[in-house]
Amino acid sequence: MNIYDVSRRAGVSIATVSRVLNGNPNVSEKTRTRVLAVMDELGYTPNVFARGLGLGTMKTIGIMCSDSSDPYLAGAIYHLERQLRSHGYDSLLCCTGPSLENKKTYFELLLSKRVDAVILAGSKFVELIGQNNDYLIEAAKELPIMLVNGYLDAPGIYSTVCNDYEAMYTAAARLIDSGRRNILYLYTSHSYSGLNKVEGYKNALTDRNIPVRREYIHQCSKDLNASRKLLEKLDRLGLVFDAVMTSDDSLAVGAVKYAAGKNIKIPDGLAVIGYNNSILSYCTTPEISSVDTKVEELCTTTVDTLMSVFNGGNVPAKTTIAAEFIQKQTTNFLC
């Protein structure tokens, strides 16, 4: 008999049960009465060790990511594990790969292990169309679901996001204000984060009376040479561009390789902007100006938020972290 049984039977989240146990006023009278009735019915008594954190739990958090060897996600997992450990929680890691079917299977598995919460690392877990998020919305009735740089509006789901829109808008605006007019935008995915980024790019152009042209926006795989090949092709087709913005450093590395192959001088002949400020952006000559998406802060905040949920605190459904533009050698505007 534990808090999950109570939460399930009462049809409320464990966070709500936790709130009731902690006497938190942020629970409706109707809900409080129902939860207490279920506890009574099930004969549930929280033991003396089960106050606040870790109420009769396994003290284990499931961490799901699509690919932990991606540099951004590898950093996120490292920080999540360290932070959870500092609160006495184990991290059960699941690398799901990209398929939705696999994600669902792993999720079921984590639920069956009775983890205390699930953290989804990376914005690829929230599908933006159709009923594909229903399994998350359903599960969030049973345990807290934390999204690291993803957003889904449903009870029991808590998001910590980076302000990708702002970051991309500002970077594009600076490029334009320093005289660039033909800015390519390369992106990897249509995730929540991905859509915010491209919106930032588009709005910066529109606000400065530069037309948003479809032939300047391209999807590209993360393979380091894919963006190089794409730029070579666009160049052959006669497209003129003086800057490349990307949704991921790996695409920017390809742009630097493209420029090296064509003897184009960076940044004078071509400005390049990466994203995530990962180790990749430091490998090239010149080093790539990029956006620090504050992955450590994102993870620390995610875990802090989770601990507040466990404590029955009043927790915002969405916390936003400010990104920071790191100018290195592939741009030359004033910051």
Which stretches of the chain bind its own copies, using CB under 8 A? 60, 63, 67-71, 74-75, 77-78, 81-82, 85, 90-95, 113, 224-225, 253, 256-257, 260-261, 279-280, 282-285
| Structure-block tokens of residue 206 | 């529109």
Nearer to its own copies, 52 or 261 (CB): 261
d(C-alpha 335, C-alpha 332), whole Å: 9
Closer CB to its own copies, 65 or 204, in the complex: 65
CB of residue 266 to its own copies, shortest distance in Å: 11
Query: Residue 221 or residue 320: which is nearer to its own copies going by CB?
Result: 221
**Strand, coil or helix: what is 314?**
coil
Give me Rg for the CA atoms of the chain.
Answer: 23
Helices and strands (H, E) in the chain, number of each type: 12, 12
Smallest distance, Å, CB 95 to its own copies? 5
Question: If you search the block for the tokens 């929540």, which residue do you land on?
Answer: 192
Provide, rounded to whole angstroms, the least separation between the CB of residue 64 and its own copies. Answer: 11
Nearer to its own copies by Cβ, of 74 and 326: the residue is 74
Q: What is the dihedral of CA 73, 78, 84, 87, to 10 degrees?
A: -150
Least spacing, CB of residue 315 vs its own copies, in Å: 25
As measured in angstroms, the least distance from the Cβ of 270 to its own copies is 14
Least distance from C-beta 261 to its own copies, angstroms?
8
* Residue 69, C-beta contacts closer than 8 angstroms, at least 6 positions apart: none
Comparing CB distances to its own copies, the nearer of 17 and 266 is: 266
Q: Which is nearer to its own copies, 241 or 258 (CB)?
A: 258
Query: Is the four-CA dihedral 129, 134, 135, 140 of positive or negative sign?
Result: positive
CB of 307 to its own copies, least distance (A): 19
Contact 255, 246 (CB under 8 A): yes
Give burial (CB, 10 Å; 0-12/13-18/19+) of 45: exposed
Among the listed residues 129, 138, 132, 133, the one whose alpha carbon sits nearest the alpha carbon of residue 156: 138
Cβ neighbors of 25 (< 8 A, separation 6 or more) are none
Calpha distance 179→92 (Å, rounded): 49
Helix (H), strand (E) at residue 191:
none
Report in angstroms how near the CB of residue 82 gets to its own copies at its nearest.
6
Nearer to its own copies, 81 or 292 (CB): 81
Closer CB to its own copies, 31 or 60, in the complex: 60
